Each structure stands twice: as C-alpha cells, then as structure tokens.
C-alpha cells in the first residue's frame, strides 16, 4: 500500500509537469481545473491522513501536502501569464490585419 501511495504521488507530480508544459493542455479549462482539484484533494488528504509509510514523521505528509498547495498557486500564476500573453498575441494579430486591410484599401 505504501508503495502505491508513493507512485500515486509521483503520478500527480508528473501530470502537473505535463499539463503545465504543454500549451494545448494548459489552454483547456477542464483539464487545468481538474488538475487543480486533484492537487487540492491530494494535498488535503496528505495533510489530514499523512503520507503512508511515514507515520512516525508527520512532517513528511505536511511538506508534501503543502508542496501540492504551492503547485496550485504556481499553476494559477503560470496559466494567468499564458492567458495574458495569448491575449496580447491576439491583439497584435488584429492590428496586423487592420494595417494590412488599410494598405489594401490604399492601393485600390
């Protein structure tokens, strides 16, 4: 059981890395918020029950649980920055299209 809890924790961290590194996954709200809920549930479970196999050291569960809460904050900041940059790219594309349209009208 202890080994599976450890592998589950590694899987949660791996999914965090995957979703936050792949822009297409980060852009999908359902995937992003599901990951955030997974982080919150896993972090809360670790704070409440502790890390299996480390019952003698409750600080281990607390540290890993708080690490998952930190990942929630980090993921939110990263997605917010990505959305801002995406919106700026959209604004730049709109300006380019407007300039190109004005140039086309000027040639006619």
**pLDDT one-digit tens code per residue, 51-104:** 887 888 888 889 999 999 999 999 999 888 888 887 887 667 777 777 777 777
pLDDT above 90 as % of the chain? 33
**3-state SS, one letter per residue, for 5-74:** HHHHHHHHHHHHHHHHHCHHHHHCHHHHHHHHHHHHHHHHHHHHHCCCCCCCCHHHHHHHHHHHHHHHHH
Look up the pTM and report it.
Answer: 0.73
Is residue 104 one of the residues assigned to a domain?
no
Give the pLDDT of residue 33.
93
| Domain annotation covers residue 33 | yes
Model confidence band, residue 1 (pLDDT cutoffs 50, 70, 90): low
Owning domain of residue 10: 2-81
Position 72 in a domain:
yes
The reply to whether 90 falls in a domain is no
In this prediction, residue 60 carries a pLDDT of 86
Is residue 100 included in any domain, yes or no? no
Count the domains in the chain. Answer: 1
> How many whole angstroms separate alpha carbon 57 and alpha carbon 62?
9
Residue 62 lies in a domain: yes
């Amino acid at each position: 059981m202890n080994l599976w809890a450890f592998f589950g924790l590694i899987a949660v961290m791996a999914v965090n890395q995957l979703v936050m590194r792949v822009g297409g996954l980060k852009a999908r709200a359902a995937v992003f918020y599901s990951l955030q809920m997974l982080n919150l549930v896993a972090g809360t479970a670790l704070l409440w029950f502790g890390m299996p196999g480390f019952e003698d050291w409750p600080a281990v569960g607390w540290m890993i649980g708080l690490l998952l809460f930190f990942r929630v904050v980090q993921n939110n900041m990263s997605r917010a920055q990505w959305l801002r940059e995406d919106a700026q790219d959209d604004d730049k594309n709109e300006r380019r299209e407007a300039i190109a349209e004005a140039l086309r009208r000027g040639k006619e």
